[in-house]
RNA sequence: GUGGGGAUGCCGGAGUGGCCAAACGGGCUGGACUUAAGAUCCAGUGGCAUCUUUGCCUACGGGGGUUCGAAUCCUCCUCCCCACACCA
């Protein structure tokens, strides 16, 4: 029999379209159901059978739901913006806009030929400015809320794509699109979306959605929530440069015995020098004629010393005036300026006149631009003029003004102590680093720290003496790509700095390491070699101490990472380490040195792409006003058509587009030429389907509220950590804007398997193994293909195309036509009636759960019965077609019409079933009868007693009296698991449910 | 390494305590139809025995266990796939 599949398909597709049966109204009282397949990037090469299958999976469900009486929204659109489209267009020598229009048109044609139940009136395409203007609107809202921001950062650069990639788009150090281009690290200013603000909700929200466990796990791993303790750690800065202390005038009586010191030998000066000179050079020059100072003389003397941008200058009293004057004159850049009791005029009457001249200068406010830190020390009991001087300097120069108690004029006579720790702090500038750890219990076992080699503040930690070694180390890493970095062995180099363990005050060396991630936690980790594998290796390699703090393993051989009791841990000794985690954290917390924190692996989403075919970022860069958003009434910022493709960002080549006026100040400014990552479009397109033609707003909230969230979302698992996280983020953001009230876009998610080519490999144009739906449709009919693919395996599994296999389905389809021609329409046999009810019941469930394969099996079974009975009721034949129609809509429609129906089967109600009509399988129908029959069959004359063995659940139904009467023997019944049973021949084992076993005595 | 999923007949793939030598399909074998091929239809498809009935043996990656009873539950092992991969 030959069937004109093409004709049938065309006929019904046309009729469905004319009757608009798949167009969905917004105000339908029926319960809504949103079925969505991930919208495709419309590739120029069109869709192959694998794509067709993806849409079919959703289509079968949508059709089932339509028939089941739901108000089904089942839309389709095109993810047309993006790099691949741009590249394909360039390769084809066409403008992306034109190229894409053609691709989309081709896609639509192909999809329509598949007979998919889309509501084409809702179609959207992301390259339409009417669509992407709302990308820009969302960007603006993000910008307003501080969730869109720019930062200079190390980014993943794909040389193939000529653009930056998001973290999610880098796999194994390679671009997700170009398996053999290794991603480079570049430093660029980029736009980011602050997805991390939603990290916790993205993580926790996974508990409430019906998604495949694997995908949820992947997202959980990606977001990477971990609970731990943040420990505040003091790290001595790596000093570099030098310190110069310029003393004041010597005005005290030279004869006073205890009060007398040379001006450059004030005890605190010597104390400081002594404290730090092994780490940093300290000069305390004795200035000429200090009792009769002449500025020029001091200047000459002072300039003999090296002063550069790494110098810390410390002045005391008159010395301060000298330094400020000198800095104002010379505009020298220095690191820090510390003024101690600075004077702006002479404080003692008998003081030399020349000193007055010394103070005769104006404080140059601009010097603060050349100094990264200015600190002024004053006290409460200095000379009045000096205290005022401190304030004056502070007013003019800014910086920090520190008032100490009872330090007089900071000379021996007044201070009462030789020590000046406050100053020491300011010189060494010890830094506080928060350290994240999940093992605060091992804090006593810390023997080193490692800071990331990529850390921005790394050099602040490196001491001069180690600088060369560190730089060499960094150089060694610099030539390595991101990918190799992953495989590299853990290496480190000593930074020269030490951290202080807050729990016991121990000094811990800080290393620079290649294995510490710079932007996780604070980029510095504590090393506990005794209880962490990696730390153990590191310590072994560099001869660092391994200090056991948790008992349980042999730390001379390997790190012990399991639990145990604490040792070498001060007050916490003997405590179980799990308890110690809490207690040590509490202890730190009480001292303000630590707290419980949650940390995430998730990073902000870098959305800048240096390419043309994307949504323009609606920002204008102005020299004076900075990044200024394009006003909403100027939206959309359309992509200019005229650009040159070649090297670099094409948008830069349209100067007219780039050069604009600043919306704020009206001066000349430039447009942002980065475009947005293509994933911004797919992050919310499913919302737009609810109101696709709205030009007034992104969508009508009421419509979105009535349709969303998506009830069943069908798409590939490869988007687990990209599209599916971004969409969740967008939805949460839009919800927080008050657009709607749900927080998750996709209530349930289904990942389809991939359709491979006949040889089991991926279908690809280059391999020449692509199966095209058109040719399949010509040869076998699209319904046959749908049935075949449905029957292969459950749709979440990968399957292989098979020309031979589809013949089996073709055979089935042809048989259907044959049987429908010949079957006598009358009434059902009891068997058929039971079967049809059973199949309706089961298939309904199967469709709802994507168990299409099982559906095809039962449909076949029902069909086989109809065929063998040769007679069936009209009702049964109709039910059969209804059951078949989600998978084979065209031929079902055709046969439905042949039965004399005028309405569409696709739009008809789903069949119901009657549970009571389904024959119960002979389950213990007459257990006693069976026993009697069986015993009678083997009964011998000499048999005296009969033992019967039944299943425990059958025991109650056994009528010993009746059996005994029938067989005229003594009967004893045992359950098969009765340990006291009499069973010499081990017959109990042979018993099966419904089939007891028997032993004759 | 971590997390997830697997391993069933010639093949794809059901089955998740008893009705399982294992659904359904493909393939293969035989038969019907035909001059023949294709298509279609029927039957068979672990082994041995047997008159249909039926019995026994060997089988669901490998070992061990729980149970009256295991493809199905537990445990260890092997192998395969997928994802994340130095996240402290």
Contacts 24+ apart (CB under 8 A), A775-778: A776/A49, A776/A806, A777/A5, A777/A6, A777/A9, A777/A113, A778/A5, A778/A6
CA of A793 to C1' of B44 (A): 26
Is the preceding omega at residue A196 within 30 degrees of 0, hence cis? no
Q: Tokens at residue A868, please? A: 């063998």
| Cβ–Cβ under 8 Å, residues A928 and A958 | yes
**Tens of pLDDT, residues A797-825:** 888 888 888 888 898 998 899 889 888 89
Query: What pLDDT is recorded for position A255?
Result: 45
- Give the pLDDT confidence score for residue A172 in this predicted structure: 67
Determine whether the distance from the CB of A219 to the nearest atom of strand B is below 7 Å. Answer: no
**If 0-12 CB within 10 Å is exposed, 13-18 middle and 19+ buried, where does residue A194 land?**
middle
Q: Which residues in chain A land under pLDDT 50?
A: 254-256, 258, 479-483, 921-924
pLDDT value of position A726: 94
DSSP A483: H
Nearest one of A109, A119, A92 to A46, comparing CA atoms = A109
In angstroms, how far apart are the furthest CA atoms of chain A? Answer: 147
Interatomic CA–C1' length for residue A791 and nucleotide B10, angstroms = 20
Distance between CA atoms of residues A618 and A638, nearest Å: 10
The tens digit of pLDDT for each residue in A444-485 reads: 999 999 999 888 778 878 887 888 898 888 877 754 444 455
Smallest CA–C1' distance to B19, residue = A993
Query: Which structure tokens are listed for A994?
Result: 């419904």
Strand B proximal to A561 Cβ, under 7 A: no
Alpha carbon distance A140, A147 (integer Å) = 9
User: Measured between alpha carbons, how far is A566 from A547 in angstroms, rounded to an integer?
Assistant: 12
Which bases of strand B sit closer than 7 A to a protein CB?
3-5, 12-14, 18-19, 23-27, 39-42, 56, 67-69, 82-88
Measuring CA to CA, which residue among A411, A414, A392, A410 is closest to residue A401?
Answer: A392
Structure tokens at A637: 């910022």
Tell me what pLDDT residue A925 has: 53
Q: Which nucleotide is nearest to A799 (CA to C1')?
A: B12
Instruction: Spell out which residues of A between 327 and 356 contact strand B, using CB within 7 Å.
Output: none
Whole-angstrom distance, CA of residue A364 vs CA of residue A349:
27
The complex's ipTM works out to 0.90
Considering only residues 818-857 of protein chain A, which place a Cβ less than 7 A from any atom of strand B? Answer: 818, 853-854, 856-857
**DSSP count for chain A of H helices, then E strands:** 33, 38
Shortest-distance nucleotide from A519 CA to C1': B87
- Nucleic strand B near CB of residue A217 (< 7 Å): yes
User: Does residue A601 lie within 7 Å of nucleic acid chain B, judged by its CB?
Assistant: yes
CA(A10)–C1'(B24) in Å? 31
Q: Which nucleotide is closest to A853, CA to C1'?
A: B24
- pLDDT of amino acid A922: 46
Q: Which protein residue's Cα is closest to nucleotide B13 at C1'?
A: A793
Strand B and A177 CB separated by under 7 Å: no
CA distance A667 to A149: 23
What is the distance in angstroms measured between the alpha-carbon CA of A808 and the sugar C1' of B27? 11
| Strand B at less than 7 A from CB of A805 | yes
Structure tokens belonging to residue A424: 């020491």
Q: What is the pLDDT of residue A195?
A: 93
- Taking a C-beta distance cutoff of 8 angstroms, is the pair A313, A323 a contact? yes
Contacts of A216 (CB under 8 A, 6+ apart): A206, A209
**Residue A484: per-residue pLDDT:** 52
What value does the CA radius of gyration of chain A take, rounded to a whole number of Å? 41
Residue A178, SS3? coil
Helix (H) or strand (E) holding A948: strand A945-950
CA-CA distance, A957 to A302, in Å (whole number)? 112
Please answer whether residues A928 and A893 qualify as being in contact, where contact means their C-beta atoms are separated by less than 8 angstroms: no
- As a rounded value in angstroms, the CA-to-C1' distance for A6 and B38 is 22
A276 CB neighbours strand B below 7 A: no
HEC-encoded secondary structure of A752-781:
CCCEECCCCCCCCCCCCCCCCHHHHHHHHC
Q: Per the omega criterion (within 30 degrees of 0), is the bond before A75 cis?
A: no
């Amino acid at each position: 029999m030959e069937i004109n599949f093409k004709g049938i398909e065309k006929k019904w597709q046309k009729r469905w379209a004319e009757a608009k049966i798949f167009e969905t109204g917004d105000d339908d009282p029926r319960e809504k159901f949103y079925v969505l397949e991930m919208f495709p990037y419309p590739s120029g090469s069109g869709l192959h059978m694998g794509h067709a299958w993806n849409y079919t999976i959703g289509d079968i469900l949508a059709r089932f739901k339509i028939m089941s009486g739901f108000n089904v929204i089942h839309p389709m659109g095109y993810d047309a913006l993006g790099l691949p489209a741009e590249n394909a267009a360039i390769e084809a020598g066409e403008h992306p806009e034109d190229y894409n229009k053609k691709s989309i048109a081709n896609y639509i044609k192909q999809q329509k030929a598949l007979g998919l139940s889309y509501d084409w009136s809702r179609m959207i395409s992301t390259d339409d400015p009417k669509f992407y203007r709302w990308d820009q609107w969302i960007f603006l809202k993000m910008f307003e809320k501080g969730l869109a921001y720019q930062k200079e950062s190390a980014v993943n650069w794909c040389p193939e794509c000529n653009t930056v990639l998001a973290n999610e788009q880098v796999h194994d150090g390679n671009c997700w699109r170009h398996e053999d281009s290794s991603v480079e690290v570049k430093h660029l200013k980029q736009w980011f979306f602050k997805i991390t603000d939603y990290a916790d909700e993205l993580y926790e929200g996974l508990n409430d959605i019906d998604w495949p466990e694997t995908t949820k796990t992947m997202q959980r791993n990606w977001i990477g929530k971990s609970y731990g303790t943040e420990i505040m750690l003091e790290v001595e800065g790596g000093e570099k440069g030098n310190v110069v202390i310029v003393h004041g005038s010597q005005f005290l009586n030279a004869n006073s015995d205890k009060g007398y010191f040379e001006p450059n030998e004030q005890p605190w000066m010597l104390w400081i020098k002594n404290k730090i000179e092994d780490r940093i050079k300290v000069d305390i020059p004795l200035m000429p004629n200090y009792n009769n100072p002449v500025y020029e003389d001091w200047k000459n003397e002072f300039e003999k010393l090296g002063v550069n941008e790494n110098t810390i200058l410390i002045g005391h009293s008159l010395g301060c005036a000298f330094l400020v004057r000198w800095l104002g004159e010379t505009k020298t850049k220095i690191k820090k300026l510390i003024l101690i009791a600075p004077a702006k005029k002479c404080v003692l009457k008998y003081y030399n006149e020349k000193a007055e001249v010394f103070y005769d200068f104006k404080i140059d406010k601009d010097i603060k631009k050349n100094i990264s830190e200015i600190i002024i020390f004053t006290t409460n009991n200095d000379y009045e003029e000096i205290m005022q001087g401190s304030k004056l300097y502070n007013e003019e120069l800014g910086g920090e003004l520190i008032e100490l108690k009872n330090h007089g004029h900071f000379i021996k006579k007044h201070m009462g102590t030789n020590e000046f720790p406050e100053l020491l702090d300011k010189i060494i500038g010890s830094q506080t680093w928060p350290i994240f750890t999940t093992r605060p219990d091992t804090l006593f076992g810390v023997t080193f720290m490692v800071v990331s080699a990529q850390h921005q503040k790394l050099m602040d930690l490196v001491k001069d003496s180690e600088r060369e070694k560190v730089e060499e180390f960094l150089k060694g890493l610099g030539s390595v790509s991101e990918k190799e970095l992953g495989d590299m062995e853990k290496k480190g180099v000593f930074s020269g700095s030490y951290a202080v363990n807050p729990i016991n005050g121990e000094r811990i060396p800080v290393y620079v390491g290649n294995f510490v991630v710079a932007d996780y936690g604070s980029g510095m980790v504590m090393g506990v070699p005794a209880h962490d594998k990696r730390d153990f290796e590191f310590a072994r390699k560099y001869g660092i101490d391994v200090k056991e703090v948790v008992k349980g393993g042999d730390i001379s051989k390997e790190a012990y990472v399991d639990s145990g009791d604490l040792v070498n841990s001060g007050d916490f000794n003997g405590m179980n380490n799990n308890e110690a985690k809490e207690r040590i954290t509490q202890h730190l917390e009480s001292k303000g040195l630590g707290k419980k924190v949650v940390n995430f692996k998730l990073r902000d989403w870098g959305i800048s792409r240096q390419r043309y075919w994307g949504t323009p970022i609606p920002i204008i860069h102005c020299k004076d006003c900075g990044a200024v958003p394009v006003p909403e009434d100027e939206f959309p910022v359309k992509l200019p058509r005229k650009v040159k493709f070649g090297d670099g960002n094409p948008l830069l080549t349209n100067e007219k587009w780039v050069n604009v006026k600043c919306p704020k100040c009206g001066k000349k400014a430039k447009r942002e030429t980065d475009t947005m990552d293509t994933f911004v479009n797919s992050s919310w397109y499913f919302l737009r389907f609810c109101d696709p033609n709205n030009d007034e707003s992104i969508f009508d909230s009421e419509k979105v509220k009535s349709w969303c969230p998506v009830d069943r979302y069908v798409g590939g698992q490869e988007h687990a950590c990209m599209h599916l996280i971004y969409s969740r983020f967008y939805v949460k953001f839009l919800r927080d804007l008050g657009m709607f009230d749900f927080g998750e876009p996709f209530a349930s998610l289904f990942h389809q398997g991939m359709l491979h080519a006949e040889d089991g490999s991926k279908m690809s144009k280059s391999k020449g193994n692509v199966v095209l739906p058109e040719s399949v449709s010509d040869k076998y009919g699209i319904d046959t293909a749908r049935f075949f693919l449905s029957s292969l395996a459950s749709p979440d599994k990968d399957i292989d195309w098979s020309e031979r296999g589809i013949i089996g389905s073709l055979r089935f389809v042809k048989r259907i036509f044959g049987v429908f021609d010949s079957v006598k329409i009358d009434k059902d046999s009891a068997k058929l009636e039971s079967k049809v009810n059973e199949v309706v019941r089961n298939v309904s469930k199967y469709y709802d759960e994507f168990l299409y394969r099982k559906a095809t099996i039962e449909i076949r079974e029902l069909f086989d019965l109809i065929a063998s009975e040769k007679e069936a009721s009209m009702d049964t034949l109709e039910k059969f077609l209804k059951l078949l129609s989600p998978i084979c809509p065209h031929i079902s429609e055709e046969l439905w019409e042949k039965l004399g129906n005028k309405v569409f089967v696709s739009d008809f109600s789903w069949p119901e079933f009657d549970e009571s009509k389904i024959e119960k399988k002979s389950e213990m129908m007459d257990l006693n009868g069976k026993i009697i029959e069986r015993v009678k069959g083997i009964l011998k004359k000499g048999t005296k007693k009969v033992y019967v063995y039944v299943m425990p659940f059958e025991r109650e139904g056994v009528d010993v009296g009746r059996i005994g009467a029938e067989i005229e023997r003594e009967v004893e019944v045992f359950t098969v698991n009765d340990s006291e049973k009499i069973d010499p021949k081990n017959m109990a084992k042979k018993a099966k449910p419904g089939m007891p076993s028997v032993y004759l005595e």
